[in-house]
Amino acid sequence: MIDLYGMSSPNVLKIVLMLEELGLPYRLHHVAVHRSEQFDPGFLAMNPLAKVPVLVDDRLGEPIFESGAILIYLAETEGLLLPAGGPARYAVLKWLMAQVANVGPLLGQLNHFNMMPADENQYALSRYRDQAARIYGVLDARLAASPWLGGADYSIADIATWPWASYVDRHGFSWDRWPALKTWLDLIAARPAAKRATEATGQFRSADMAARAAATPEHFDRFFWRSTPGPPPVTPPAAVR
């Protein structure tokens, strides 16, 4: 059996999408990060970085953290969505790494500063808006030249990037700037696995909203890893890092 620990966030949604694509049975477990559950000793024993997703598969006997590692593990275990070798494998892996090293961290920082009081964050907001536009532009250019991020076939690179690419309008940009990215996004959204994944993670959304509503200022400081107390978020954290 596979157990996935998570919340309603893009890094978790990508793993649920992968499990749905593979048709594997799994159980979801909510981690209330707004109430500091990621710092419980039991969770830290699975991921010392105190972040979701974490996947536990009986067949492996060792929890896996970091969404990129989880995707590679599942792809290799099932022999799907990642070519076994040659240039096609490394094309997929480089776009997967581009997501975990660039797309997620940069868009996640924009999400963070977007939810903070604006007057304190003008420089950070403008920096990460520019970085987000750069990232969306790179993805759009790749998808104008290639049907999928990794090349000819749908792969774990697409699965990793899809939940993050949907932030374009929430970040206040127009889709007109990146039409190839939009076509690709809609193509994945229409997949039955993507519909099932979105539905399956719906339970996390309500649990996150309840946990956030019950969070104290101290919970927010821990959640944002702040050593000095800071302001509470002013907008719902659509995605958190």
Contact assessment for residue 223 and residue 37, using Cβ atoms and an 8 Å cutoff: no
33 near ligand GSH, judged by CB under 6 A: yes
Residue 28 phi/psi, 5-degree rounding, is: -100, 140
CB of 236 to ligand GSH, least distance (A): 14
Q: Smallest distance, Å, CB 36 to ligand GSH?
A: 8
* Cβ neighbours of residue 83 closer than 8 Å, sequence gap 6 or more: 89, 92, 153, 155
| HSE-CB of 102 using CA atoms within 13 angstroms | 16
Residues 143 and 183: beta-carbon distance below 8 Å: yes
Residue at 61: amino acid letter: G
Closest CA to 153 of 99, 100, 197, 92: 92
- The C-alpha atoms of residue 42 and residue 89 are separated, in whole angstroms, by 35
Identify which of residues 68 and 150 has a Cβ nearer to ligand GSH in the complex: 68
The residue among 122 and 206 lying less far from ligand GSH, judged by its C-beta, is: 206
50 counts as binding ligand GSH under rule CB under 6 A = yes
Kindly tell me which of 94 and 177 has the beta carbon lying closer to ligand GSH. 94
Q: How far is the CB of 196 from ligand GSH (least distance, A)?
A: 20
Site for ligand GSH contains 241 (CB under 6 A): yes
155 interacts with ligand GSH by CB under 6 A: no
Write down the least CB distance from residue 176 to ligand GSH, Å. Answer: 28
Residue 159, both tokens? 């699965």
3-state secondary structure of 28: strand
Least Å distance, CB 223 to ligand GSH, is: 6
Binding status of residue 81 toward ligand GSH by CB under 6 A: no
Q: Is residue 66 close enough to count as binding ligand GSH by CB under 6 A? A: yes
Distance from C-alpha of 41 to C-alpha of 47, rounded to nearest angstrom: 10
CB nearer to ligand GSH: give 19 or 100: 100
When the beta carbons of 55 and 143 are compared against ligand GSH, the nearer one is 55
The stretch among 46-54, 125-133, 139-147, 164-172 that binds ligand GSH (CB under 6 A) is: 46-54
Strand pairing category for 54-57 and 26-30: unpaired
| Contact status: 223 vs ligand GSH (CB under 6 A) | yes
* Nearest alpha-carbon partner for 25 in 74, 72, 73: 74
Site residues (CB under 6 A) for ligand GSH?
A: 9-11, 33, 38, 50-53, 66-68, 100, 104, 223, 240-241
